[in-house]
Structure 1
């Protein structure tokens, strides 16, 4: 990915203009590069990224991996961390099919839904 494309992607992911954000509650695991995985709760999800609980400080630009139930780990990059919450941009946009399946599973009347 070129620097110009990466910059545009980072801005779009941070501003969340390239995809709607869905608020939900999904249990998962998050692992920062060089660190151990820890339990987390994803609070919102879009094609471009997510926000989740992160008790330990994470740093802007840090590479991490999000693992949700039934899915392989998704690589992302930390965009912000504040008050034990982290916002990350996926390295590659989430497939719309995978995104829609996650939303269907965890929103509405599901066990972890709102």
Structure 2
């Protein structure tokens, strides 16, 4: 096993473990663009270091790539894990930095109110 395989395996395991990581309910406007498709406005409903759940009226298929753009941030590449009845769950390709995650939570809360810190 090469060093690259080892790092990939660790990341894959961490991503799986993060599905049970602290998910925080938020109500955050964002843009989601599926691979090969047009971007659309959405609302992120919960977020963790490893992924997010958002509104997506159009079906997105398991394994497809998509890019989430949050206010004031560059696009975050992710992979669709599930889609059900207008909601999509995605896993980030790269785990969010705890600092970025804390900053998101400091600015948004579950009722959609933006807070300045």
- TM-score range (shorter-chain normalised) is 0.7 to 0.9
Q: TM-score, normalised by structure 2?
A: 0.84
CA distance in 1, matches of 2:69, 2:56: 14
Q: Is the CA contact (8 Å cut-off) linking 1:22 and 1:44 kept in structure 2?
A: yes
Partner of 1:12 in structure 2? 17
Q: Which runs of 5+ in 1 are unaligned?
A: none
TM-score, length-normalised on structure 1?
A: 0.86
Q: Are the structure 2 counterparts of residues 87 and 110 from structure 1 closer, same or farther at C-alpha, using a change threshold of 3 Å?
A: closer
Find the structure with the greater CA-based Rg: 2
CA distance in 2, matches of 1:4, 1:66: 24
1:25–1:112 CA contact under 8 A, matched in 2: no
Please name the residue that 2:51 is paired with.
49
CA distance change for structure 1 residues 81 and 112 in 2, over 3 Å: closer, same or farther? farther
Q: 1:91 aligns with which of 90, 93, 96?
A: 93
Per-residue deviation, residues 14-47 of structure 1 (Å, max 9, x unmatched): xx22x30000100000000111100000000000
Secondary structure of 2:30's partner? strand
Could you say which residue in structure 2 is the equivalent of 1:68? 70
**Alignment partner, residue 42 of structure 2:** 40
| Alpha-carbon distance in structure 2 between the residues aligned to 1:10 and 1:94 | 11
Structure 1 residue 112: Cα displacement: 5.0
Deviation of residue 11 (structure 1)?
2.7
Number of matched pairs: 110
Q: SS at the partner of 2:105?
A: helix
Let me know the Cα RMSD of the aligned residues.
2.1
Moved over 6 A (4+): none
